[in-house]
Amino acid sequence: MSTLVIVGTQWGDEGKGKIVDLLTGRADVVVRFQGGNNAGHTLKVAGEEIIVHLIPSGILYPNTLNIIANGLVVDPGVLLEEKSALRAKGYFQSDEQLLISERAQVIMPYHKVIDHGREELLGNAKIGTTGRGIGPAYEDKASRMGIRMGDLIRPERLKERINAAIDEKNFLIEHRFKKPRLDPEQVLEQYLDYGRQLQAHITDTTHVLHQRISGGSRVLFEGAQGTLLDIDHGTYPFVTSSNVVAGNVCCGSGVSPDRLDQILGVVKAYSTRVGQGGFPTELDNELGESIRARGAEYGATTGRPRRCGWLDLVILNHSVRLNGVSGIAVTKLDVLTGISPLKICTAYELDGQPLDRVPADIGDLERVKPRYREVKGWEEHLSDCRSFDDLPKNARDYVETIEHLTGVPVTLVSVGPARDQSILRKSPF
């Protein structure tokens, strides 16, 4: 048995999709355990760019089992669209490649109306959500009003569950958000149809996972978003609505903590964030714009420009501790070519006092001043480097500074979007 958890250590968009895709070649099962189609994992294979939002990145390998586990909120319409888009490109040719937990929550049409409606009403105070209905779907899970994937294949149950929820939702939609009411019959028909189309995939994935792990399968857990978007440990309220840290693999998939072997934290060589919220090392200037342009930093899900800034080791160390990171993957190191000096934030200052952790209060996070260590940049292009020794000295120093200041080995360095533009120093499997 061998398991590996891959998590983002910043605000998402660290390049986890590529790392998962790369390591999936060595895995038998790939599992998503939280979030929904707010994620956007960009994969580049044989010159072609493929973006998946909901289906685990392992879908590009025909012999890998992919699992959407109980911790997700699933939009069945999006799932079906993603499935046919992948099929049209020659992937996902067998239904057996994907299992969906019958315990996973379903994103309903009213969740999307409420997500958009709230953001509109919040105006400047908005969270900047992806608008996919993620938060309202998780709210219903907690209030026991949720509909689960297993309900979609049980018509009487589905009818009961929709009827139990729809009056309250329509009240909000009509009176609070001033939008047209939803017709419960239409919603029922549409979701029964989704159930028919997805029936082959819906099962007890916890049981399957227990069997596969006991049978010696190598299992990779694919995190979505990033640690600073975790609902408890992130920059609340500017966070997503699930726990994204490695500990949530257990709740989100039903695998016990003693089964988790390695935790790989993915860190982009600089920082980015989409949506609102504090960002201490943000470069709200020409340099930030130039990093955005070189790194193509536009949201994979919403297309929004990402805010860019220097690497922040206060954030990274927070993530290392929360996730129990045992190895680090540094991505997009190539994007920093030509910038010198480079800055790495090693501590904050709050009201003149040094601070070496992420403050819980969003106002404090907005006020902290980063303390930087300057390091020399490099001029060489990195995209053809295939071993650590191929990297120019200053790029190696940059990576070693991360190792030194976190105490965690950098086991993988990515120097471009393609699978082979990777330096695997130590394989986690």
Q: Say which residues have a Cβ less than 8 Å from residue 398's Cβ, sequence separation at least 6.
A: 269, 333, 336, 342, 344, 375
Question: Closer CB to ligand IMP, residue 39 or residue 345?
Answer: 39
Nearest-CB residue to ligand IMP?
275
Does 77 interact with ligand IMP (rule: CB under 6 A)?
A: no
The reply on whether position 297 binds ligand IMP by CB under 6 A is no
Q: Which is nearer to ligand IMP, 11 or 92 (CB)?
A: 11
Amino acid of residue 106: V
Query: Contact 138/242 with Cβ under 8 angstroms?
Result: yes
CB distance 57 to 15 below 8 Å: no
* 224 scored as a contact of ligand IMP (CB under 6 A): yes
79 to 86, 139, 195, 197: CA distances (angstroms)? 11, 21, 12, 10
Q: Exactly one of 21, 28, 41, 312 is catalytic; name it.
A: 41
Residues 252 to 291: which contact ligand IMP by CB under 6 A?
274-275
- CA 104 to CA 424: how far, in whole Å? 34
Count of positions on this chain that bind ligand IMP (CB under 6 A): 21
Tokens 């958000």 correspond to what residue?
177
- Is 53 assigned a catalytic role? no
* Residue choice 38, 248, 271, 326 for contact with ligand IMP (CB under 6 A): 38
Q: Is 356 a catalytic residue?
A: no
Distance between CA atoms of 73 and 129, rounded to whole angstroms?
15
| Minimum CB–partner distance for residue 277 and ligand IMP (Å) | 7
Distance CA 69, CA 104 (A): 6
Rounded-to-integer distance, Cα 68 and Cα 254, Å: 12
Selected range binding ligand IMP among 8-16, 85-93, 166-174, 418-426, rule: CB under 6 A: 8-16
Q: Which of 3, 97, 101, 241 binds ligand IMP (CB under 6 A)?
A: 241
**Residue from the set 9, 37, 240, 262 that interacts with ligand IMP by CB under 6 A:** 240
Chain centroid, CA 378 distance in Å: 30
Which residues are within 8 A (CB) of 202 and not within 5 positions of it... i.e. 6 or more apart?
99, 100, 101, 102, 149, 150, 152, 153, 195
* φ, ψ at 63 (rounded to 5°): -100, 10
Q: How far is the CB of 428 from ligand IMP (least distance, A)?
A: 22
Closer of 169 and 212 to ligand IMP (Cβ): 169
User: Cα separation of 262 and 300, whole Å?
Assistant: 27
Q: By CB under 6 A, which span of 104-112, 224-232, 315-323, 325-333 interacts with ligand IMP?
A: 224-232
Quick one: which of 44, 116, 128, 217 contacts ligand IMP (CB under 6 A)?
Answer: 128
Q: Is 248 in the site for ligand IMP (CB under 6 A)?
A: no
Q: How many residues does the chain have?
A: 429
The stretch among 132-140, 372-380, 389-397, 419-427 that binds ligand IMP (CB under 6 A) is 132-140
Give strand pairing partners of 353.
350
* 422 DSSP assignment: E
Q: Minimum distance between the CB of residue 13 and ligand IMP, rounded to whole angstroms?
A: 5
Nearest distance in Å: CB 102, ligand IMP: 23
Q: CA 169 to CA 164: how far, in whole Å?
A: 10
Binding site for ligand IMP (CB under 6 A): 11-13, 38-40, 127-130, 132, 134-135, 224-225, 229, 238, 240-241, 274-275
Active-site positions read: 13, 41
